[in-house]
Chains A and B, each alone.
Chain A
Amino acid sequence: MSAEPPAPALADARGTAATFAARAASVSTDVRQASAAEVPALVAALLGDAGAGSVVVDSAAAAAFPALAEALRAAGLALVAPAAPAPLLADAAAGVSLAAFGIAETGSVVLATAALGDRLAGMLPAEHVVLLRAADLLADLDAAAARLRAWTTADPPRPYVSFVTGPSRTADIERVLTIGVQGPCALHVVLVEDGRC
């Protein structure tokens, strides 16, 4: 422990992560923290414990965490490729995605991969795990808007970006909140913090 007060940037980062975790939890997101090395085992445990059958891992998550596929297989889970036909993806019990960034103000994770199969990983299965690097957290919607502006005015633009803020929900009957309609019934966000102290 240093006697020096923490550098403002670090304090901001910690504060941002804390805000993100609090806001995400307030919308029924299950927030976990892990180092990069711990991610494969944590995801395997999350999904293996839930007894999920097959899992679709989006290409970005697979590339960022090469050990993930093996960890899932070792936990007895079958893998479905994102390029598989949509009905197969719909039968998957869980999807794993890598977030492009997160928004602390709203507790959102932002999915920005263009390929349909990658996107469906977070749309069709009942359970969704999103990996979010803590360094990719933005403070608020204004910062997210600036990022989106850059992405969508580029050539070619990113065609399909979603802020995901908690699991799928409805209050259409009697304004009673009910989790899990057409999208995932559960959302886990793993906040990946490299070199945690």
Chain B
Amino acid sequence: MDAARPRPWPLPRPSLVAAAVALGVGLGLAANRRSPAARDFQRRYRRALADPRLARNLLAFQRSWRPSRDAAFALLAASGGPAPNPPGADVSADGQAAFEALRDELAAAKDAVLADLPDYFERFRAAAERAGATVVEAVDAEAANAYVAALAARRGARLVIKSKSMVGEETEINHYLAARGLEVVETDLGEWIVQLAGERPSHMVMPAIHKSRQQVGDLFTRVLGREISRESIPDQVKVARTELRRKFLEADLGISGANALIAESGTVMLVTNEGNGRLVTSLPPVHVVLVGYEKLLPTFADAARQLRLLARSATAQHLTSYTTFITGPDRPDKELHIVFVDNGRFRMRDDPAFRPALRCIRCAACANVCPPYQVVGGHVFGYIYSGAIGLVNTPFHHGLAHAAGPQSLCVSCNACATVCPVHIPLPRQILAVRARAAGAYGLPPLKRLGLAVWSRPALFDAACRVAAQLTAPLADGPFLRRLPLPPAWRWRTPPRLARRPARDRLAGRAPDPPRLATGAAGRTVAVFLQCVADRFLPEAVEATVRVLEACGARVVVPPDQPCCGLPAIDAGDLPTARRMARRTIRALEAVPADYVVTPGASCVVALAHEYPTLFADDPSWRQRAERLAARVVDLATFLTRVAGLGADTVRLPPPGDAPSLTYHPFCQSRNVLGLGEAPRRLLEDALGLAVRDLPEADVCCGFGGSTSLDHPQVACAIAARKLANVAATGAAVLVTDNPGCLLHLRGAADAAGQPLRVVHLAEVIVERLAPRA
């Protein structure tokens, strides 16, 4: 990516340090590369990164999908009647509200089915058999494929046509039937393209979205042996119509998936856009439906809910072109076989952490908002199922080994959770997969070493102080500019360790006088330093303290603060995470304070959202975690809700000549803490600063905790996307609320030579509230 262009090398001779770093990183990340699944993942990963068109194709796709999807939900909000929205109505907020209400309803319907799955299956089976269908259960992929192969043999079938089926991909039925002499033809355009290319779908809804029209034109020309346009998509689509027409008319057997199975009537619901699904299910004398149990829905009313959510979430349509309801065979000489595939689904159902993933309706919205998916595509971000859901269900359908590599790409931005139409807690489930992978395969040695130091406060403190001294000669401003790095890491200038961490600066410091009469007056606030800010950004910590004092709060800094444990949670090392969490809870309990505020929004997520889950099975610590969580608040929320900044009472006059600003919200601040526009409104309303609109503000910066260490090229590409958006605003200053984002973007901008000041929210606020003389 552009941000990775090499910079002048300060140390010309090959450096021992560089070699040592490269060796260490290589060794550190080498774990889990030994299994065939891991080697397969590495091969796919390298191939994806070597294809510059892939990320470009997917960036264009994600940028066009998001606004269309949002508009489709805004229309849903307006679809209560023919009346248009009143002028000035906030259709996006209405759309979000409509989405939230509808997804709660559908999730509840799905949960009801999952709670009584055998019962709903029997209801469906009875109704479908009454209508003349044959309903069978297959315990695994082999059983499902064998049933279809035997059926095809009994009917003397030679040509099989398929409508898109993810379960068919899961069981790899094409391969199975082809090995038994059958010709299997995919009829969905995207599926046909990937079949001709000898690939797998890279996306559950748009299987060939990783390919450009030029690549499709090349493929068609090569496979069909005649010249096909590289530029005209309509021409390419026409090719599919011409080539597949004969197959439809001659096929002996049709295979489809199902989008829902309606228990009250034994109905198979199928949604398609191209019209191939109706032909596959109508023309051949035998129709096989390959489906997972999780597609069961109680009633048609629930199916209507799913329809309203599915097309909007998948393709930003209000409904797909064809929605078909099949109840039994449609003619006396037709056979309809509905094959329910277990293949790990019942194990998933019996696992409380993963049961909600069976609500999935395969819309792929989780892929469409996923920053690492945009960089590597669905052949890497997932296994056969791609996107966030693929990281979650692969362990059950295809084994943990196939999920271990892909899950390491998740940046935990939580964007998937915000668009999932059935409210699956995908980020938490991905972390659970990560923990299982860590348990099964161990952590890479480098990560283990890092956590061993990080989780021991005294050792960590000593290590940071020694490292700060040792690296001081390599420092230049806020950067370790002269630290030699291997090429894959040069896209981000590393930050320097502060010689005096925030804990030293704050010790024995006299508090600032209050500057404003705010709602925070007289409140006691414990400041949690956040280890990254403490060591790398002490000025942000100090700014946080001074802002709180300017608002009249009494600030206390609990001594000997440890790290909250987020690095261990992020690594999937839950025993270490619990140890670190207990220590943090003890340290913060020791200080009586009304609130705990921190410059690290990521710590707020850990303290307030992760801790209660970490101690789910430990009632006494869970209670302590929840008591702490109730006091923890991020800086922006404290200033707006507690201090009342931005309300009519507390406003500052507009500044004279402020530099142009834009705001990057930490992804979890929006997606987990639900801050929305609050930090930006704080800057604009309370401080009178003009904040420029940042395109794709919602998209993560790519730091992603250790992800940017595990997958530097991916993090680099996501940072480049963010910095390109920042550059488009023309702003001179980028403000953000999380030290991870700040250091990541500051370093990436520096390495790319992009002139940009990246500062913490508290630093901007303190400059306005309590400027130093």
**A172/B209 in contact, CB under 8 A:** yes
Q: Counting CB contacts under 8 A, is B187 at the interface?
A: yes
How many residues from B make CB contacts under 8 Å with A?
73
Whole-angstrom CA separation of A160 from B269 in the bound complex: 10
B265 near A142: Cβ-Cβ < 8 Å: no
Closest CB in chain B relative to A59 CB, distance in Å: 14
Residues of B382-423 contacting chain A, CB below 8 A: none
Q: What B residues does A160 contact at CB under 8 A?
A: 281-282, 324-327, 330
Give A15's nearest chain B residue, CB to CB. Answer: B82
B79 contacts A105, C-beta separation under 8 Å: yes
| In the complex, A173 has a CB within 8 A of chain B | yes
Query: Which of these binds chain B: A60-68, A72-80, A115-123?
Result: A115-123
Of the candidates A145, A163, A168, A184, which one forms a contact with B273 in the assembled complex, judged by CB atoms under 8 Å apart? A168
Q: Which one, A90, A115, A140, A181, contacts B240 given CB within 8 A?
A: A181
Q: Is the CB of A182 within 8 A of B240?
A: yes
Q: Which of B93-101, B303-311, B641-649 contacts A (4 or more CB under 8 A)?
A: B303-311
Closest to A141 in B: B304
| Docked-complex contact A149 and B322, CB < 8 angstroms | no
Report if A183-B321 is in contact (Cβ < 8 Å); known contacts: A144-B304, A149-B264: yes
Top 4 A-B pairs ranked by shortest CB distance?
Answer: A183-B275, A172-B190, A181-B274, A152-B265
Partner of A149, one of B130, B241, B300: B300
Min CB distance A185 to B, Å, is: 9
Task: Give every chain A residue within 8 A of B329 (Cβ-Cβ).
Answer: 159
Tell me the bound Cα distance from A105 to B131 in angstroms: 30
Closest chain B CB from A167 CB (angstroms): 7
Q: Mark A147-178, 1 if CB is under 8 A from B, else 0.
A: 01100110111111111111111111111101
CB neighbours of B81 from chain A (8 A): 15, 19
A54 close to chain B: CB less than 8 A: no
Contacts known (A168-B274, A172-B188); A145 close to B300, Cβ less than 8 A: yes
A114 at the interface (CB under 8 A from B): yes
For the complex, is A180 an interface residue (Cβ under 8 Å from B)? yes
Known: A116-B331, A149-B300, A172-B208. A165 touches B321 (CB 8 A): yes
A106 within 8 A of B: yes
Q: Mark B198-228, 1 if CB is under 8 A from A, else 0.
A: 0000000011110111001000000000000
In the complex, which residues of chain A have a beta carbon less than 8 angstroms from the beta carbon of B290? none
Interchain CB contact (< 8 A) of A142 among B206, B244, B248, B304: B304
A173 touches B211 (CB 8 A): yes
| Any B CB within 8 A of the CB of A50 | no
0 or 1 for each of B318-354: is its CB under 8 Å from A? (1 = yes): 1111111111111100000000000000000000000
Query: Which residues of chain A are within 8 angstroms of B279 by Cβ–Cβ distance?
Result: 123-124, 182-183
In chain B, positions 230-248 with a C-beta closer than 8 Å to chain A are: 233-234, 236-238, 240-241, 244-245, 248
Which residue of chain A is the closest to B317 with respect to CB atoms?
A27
Known: A175-B206, A178-B237; 4 extra A-B contacts, CB below 8 A, are A27-B318, A116-B283, A123-B279, A157-B267
Decide yes or no whether B9 CB sits under 8 A from chain A. Answer: no
Q: Are A145 and B324 in contact (CB under 8 A)?
A: no
Q: Which range contains the number of A residues in contact with the other chain?
A: 35 or more
Residues of B at the A interface (CB closer than 8 Å) are 57, 60-61, 64-65, 79, 81-83, 127, 130-131, 187-190, 193, 206-209, 211-213, 216, 233-234, 236-238, 240-241, 244-245, 248-249, 262, 264-267, 273-276, 278-279, 281-283, 299-301, 303-304, 307-308, 315, 317-331
Please state if B233 and A174 are interface contacts (CB–CB under 8 Å). yes
Supply 27 A–B pairs (Cβ within 8 Å), ascending by A. Answer: A104-B82, A119-B278, A153-B265, A157-B131, A157-B265, A159-B329, A160-B282, A160-B325, A160-B330, A161-B324, A162-B322, A162-B325, A163-B323, A165-B320, A168-B321, A168-B322, A169-B273, A169-B321, A171-B315, A175-B60, A175-B61, A175-B209, A176-B233, A182-B275, A183-B274, A183-B279, A183-B322
In the complex, chain B residues whose CB is within 8 Å of the CB of A105: 79, 318
Given A123-B275, A123-B279, does the pair A182, B248 have CB atoms closer than 8 Å? yes
Q: Are B318 and A86 in contact (CB under 8 A)?
A: no
Report the separation of the CA atoms of residues A30 and B478 in the bound assembly, to the nearest whole angstrom: 63
B274 touches A146 (CB 8 A): no
Q: Is the CB of B322 within 8 A of A172?
A: no
**Contact (Cβ within 8 A) B330 A159:** yes
In the assembled complex, the CB of A151 is this many whole angstroms from the nearest CB of chain B, namely 8
Q: In the complex the two chains form, is B265's CB within 8 Å of A181's CB?
A: no
CA distance A168 to B245 in the complex (A): 14
Bound: A104/B207 CA distance, A: 31
| Inter-chain contacts of B320 with A (CB < 8 A) | 165
Q: Report chain A residues within 8 Å CB of B323.
A: 108, 162-163, 165
Say yes or no: is A97 at the interface (Cβ < 8 Å to chain B): no
Which residues between 9 and 25 of chain A lie within 8 Å of chain B, taking CB atoms?
15-16, 18-19, 22-23
Q: Does chain B have a CB within 8 A of A8? A: no
In the bound complex, residues from chain A placing their C-beta under 8 Å from that of B304 are: 141-142, 144-145
A27 to B318, CA, bound (A): 9
Which one of A16, A27, A165, A170 has the greatest number of beta carbons of chain B within 10 Å? A170
Q: In the complex, how many angstroms separate the beta carbon of A56 from the nearest chain B beta carbon?
A: 14
Q: Within the assembled complex, what's the spacing in Å between the Cα atoms of A157 and B233? A: 41
The answer on a CB contact under 8 Å between A145 and B321 is no
Please report the C-alpha to C-alpha distance between residue A142 and residue B308 in the assembled complex, in whole angstroms: 10
Say yes or no: A161 contacts B208, CB within 8 Å.
no
- The complex places the Cα of A123 from the Cα of B241 at a distance, in Å, of 12
User: Smallest distance from the beta carbon of B653 to chain A beta carbons, Å?
Assistant: 48
CA distance A147 to B225 in the complex (A): 49
Partner of B327, one of A158, A170, A176, A184: A158
Least Cβ–Cβ distance between A143 and chain B, in angstroms: 9
Partner of B282, one of A15, A16, A123, A141: A123
A183 touches B278 (CB 8 A): yes
What residues of chain A lie closer than 8 Å to B233, measured between beta carbons?
173-174, 176, 178
Cα A148 to Cα B266 with chains together (Å)? 12
- Among B193, B236, B317, which residue has the most Cβ atoms of chain A within 10 A? B317
Docked Cα-Cα span, A173 to B275, in Å, equals 16
